[in-house]
Structure 1
Amino acid sequence: MTVTIAGSGLAELTCAWLLASRGHRVRLRPRPSPGPRPLLLGEDTLALLRALWGVTSPADGHRLTHRHVRWAPGPPDPPLAHPAVVLDGALLCRRLLDRLCARRPDAARPGPEPAGPPHWTVTAEPPTGHPGEHWTAGRRHLLAGEAPLAPGQDDTTARLDRTDLAWLHLTPLGNGRALLQAMVPGPVARPAELLGRLLAASELAPRLLHPPETAVALPAAPRLHLLPATAPSTCTPGTLLVGAGAIRYDPLSGTGTAQAMRTAILAAALIGSAAAETPPDLLCAYYAARLRTAFQEHLTTCARLYPQAFPDPSWQHELNACGWPGTSLTG
């Protein structure tokens, strides 16, 4: 079975690693490497990474030991032991790509595809220009920017706080720096300005020397691709979407990285079953059903958590969007 891996994100590389390990012929089309991308990996995610790739915990990551949460109005919960590692996700993917090419040189390496079309293409980048391909549960955006920690602040504890408009997450990055993120209920024209106001209204403000000077605003509502798998035809390969291209989780869950790797596991299993002559149409329908079930469960969690924190009317659309739209996702 010949498979093209169109991309070099964690989900795509994990699928390539699993397929190559099982004897499938894999060809890589890596994307240009992005800039630094802070990634917070909890123990469960690190354990999955170790199990799939056989690697130990990244040695150059910044280690956290606890998590402190103030979600509902009132005093925060006591700090919880929550071991985690903060690292550069782009650097992690580059290292895994090197490991893949070194350990499976005959099955996986950047370069031209073999003669003849591949049987499948695996990617986290769905084709654009096709309206109605996604179901997106809301309009919320994640603001993110880096700033220096104030002198003497604990750099081993991640902190979640809330205001009436947003939840905020402060993640120490090491070397006296921290990542500040805020989830707000819609698009933002001036993210750094709003992030500074939200910080000032929260109990996190004294922990930073000053607000982030620059920030980005990224769409962050849960999103499901309606057609994450298409079977091969006589003219075209089958397509499997993995990672955030298939299903995007609300960052509040903290499980997005692990779930991305799980889509890779499922995609590799689908290709293996197709090679064993299970009808591809049935496998693609099963793949879509599994993702839909996971998405529905995620929306249920969001619908339970968000109303506890945000009585503000500006959040009403997001709370309504957490409801499942019925028996069909056809637009």
Structure 2
Amino acid sequence: MTAAIRGRGIAARCTARLLGAQGLDWTLDDAPRPSGPAVMLSDPALSLMRDCLGDPELLAGKRRVQRRVVAWGGQEPATLDHGAIVLDEGDLDQCLEIDNINKSNIYSDFFIHAAMPFPSGNMRRFGSRPSGAAQVRLLREEDGDACRVESLDTGWLFLIPVSDTTGWLLAIGGSPDELLPQSRHLGARVELSRLSGASFETAPGMLECLAAPGWLACGTAAIAFDPICGDGTAQAVREAVLAAAVVQALAEGEDAQALATHYHSMLLAAMRRHLKLCAQFYATGGKGAWWQAQLAALAEGFEWCTAALSRLPEPRYELRGLRLVPRETVT
């Protein structure tokens, strides 16, 4: 059995690595993806990637973030311990580099879509948060090892340091030059250097159909988390584990429709949990109309996910390690 993978992000490349480790054939169409700002990868997410890819030294030596400074809901900044590494696009490409990429999928039995276009389904967004990013200069020496989060009247800011003197500022709900003047704390610590120029959507969203017999969809183009939870990269790895397990189960003769339903329901449940967690942050970030609108959209999304899950059968499989096992055989 051969799986054709389309995409070049973490979900696509981790899936390819996992299929190869299981002795399954795959092809990879290394589709282009838009570039973005730096990525902060938490220690739990890094540990998950290392475990799945069997590389305990993966991304060793990258710049570390030691503290998270949060000014939320009008409160004064609170400093918390926070373990993470900072990556740029080149770091991710290098650590997930795959040799001998085969772009021919003519003989493929199954298709994994980690990039648009998708075979079926509309993208459902749970809110609207057009956002922007900018490179900034850090004005204080002590900020080189700390990420910073601040809620504002109409959005929030997230600062990722990439060196002792520079960083990326993400502005959720507007552009950095629009939101930074609202800041009580970050505004005095950074100076805008260059706007990225592109606006991107940060409200969570997912395809209404994530799998069917013959294909599945994964990656942030198919199911996207709000950056407020910092779980997007780990979610992409979990999707890769589940996608590879689906392909393996198909190769072993399991029912294609049951596996597609299981995959879709697992990701739907993951989105439901994510929306509930997001609501806890947006309920305390501010009291204005912007915050209330985001909270209402999250609640609506949670209800939609709950209703969708109620129409699906109970999961027939359980993930044990990197394999899907029928529930009746699980001990």
State the TM-score, normalized to the length of structure 1. Answer: 0.85
The aligned residue for residue 205 of structure 1 is: 187
The aligned residue for residue 106 of structure 1 is: none
Q: Does 1:163 align with 2:145?
A: no
CA spacing shift, 1:240–1:128, aligned 2, 3 Å: closer
CA distance in 1, matches of 2:39, 2:218: 18
The aligned residue for residue 85 of structure 2 is: 85
Moved more, 299-308 or 272-281: 299-308
Deviation at 1:5, TM superposition (A): 1.4
CA offsets per residue over residues 243-287 of structure 1, 9 Å max, x none? 113321110000100001100100000111111111110000011
CA distance in 1, matches of 2:119, 2:157: 33
CA offsets per residue over residues 43-99 of structure 1, 9 Å max, x none? 10111121122151424532111111111222222x2211111011343224412xx
Alignment partner of 1:211: what SS? Answer: strand
CA distance in 2, matches of 1:314, 1:33: 30
Deviation at 1:142, TM superposition (A): 2.5
Which 4+ stretches in 1 moved above 3 angstroms?
32-37
CA spacing shift, 1:4–1:153, aligned 2, 3 Å: same
Q: Does the 8 Å contact 1:63/1:156 carry over to 2?
A: yes
Q: Does the 8 Å contact 1:34/1:90 carry over to 2?
A: no
Deviation at 1:160, TM superposition (A): 0.9
Q: Does the 8 Å contact 2:9/2:33 carry over to 1?
A: no
Deviation at 1:195, TM superposition (A): 3.7
The aligned residue for residue 52 of structure 2 is: 52
Q: Does 1:193 align with 2:177?
A: yes
Give the root-mean-square deviation of aligned CA atoms: 2.2
Q: Does the 8 Å contact 2:143/2:164 carry over to 1?
A: no
The aligned residue for residue 195 of structure 2 is: 214
The aligned residue for residue 96 of structure 2 is: 96
Alignment partner of 2:108: what SS? Answer: coil
CA distance in 2, matches of 1:120, 1:71: 46
Q: Does 1:125 align with 2:115?
A: yes
CA distance in 1, matches of 2:76, 2:253: 58
The aligned residue for residue 224 of structure 2 is: 248
CA distance in 1, matches of 2:21, 2:148: 39
Deviation at 1:6, TM superposition (A): 1.0
Alignment partner of 2:96: what SS? Answer: helix
Alignment partner of 1:23: what SS? Answer: coil
Q: Does the 8 Å contact 1:138/1:322 carry over to 2?
A: yes
Alignment partner of 1:271: what SS? Answer: helix
State the TM-score, normalized to the length of structure 2. Answer: 0.85
Gaps of 5+ in 2: 312-331
Q: Does the 8 Å contact 1:229/1:284 carry over to 2?
A: yes
Report percent identity of matched pairs.
Answer: 29
CA distance in 2, matches of 1:196, 1:305: 20
Alignment partner of 1:303: what SS? Answer: helix
The within-5 A match list for 1:313-328 is: 313-323=289-299, 324-326=302-304, 327-328=307-308
CA offsets per residue over residues 25-50 of structure 1, 9 Å max, x none? 11111124754641101110111121
CA spacing shift, 1:117–1:2, aligned 2, 3 Å: same
Q: Does 1:183 align with 2:172?
A: yes
Q: Does 1:273 align with 2:264?
A: no
CA spacing shift, 1:154–1:175, aligned 2, 3 Å: closer
User: May I ask how many residue pairs the two structures share in their alignment?
Assistant: 304
CA offsets per residue over residues 214-254 of structure 1, 9 Å max, x none? 143210111011111121xxxxxx22111113321110000
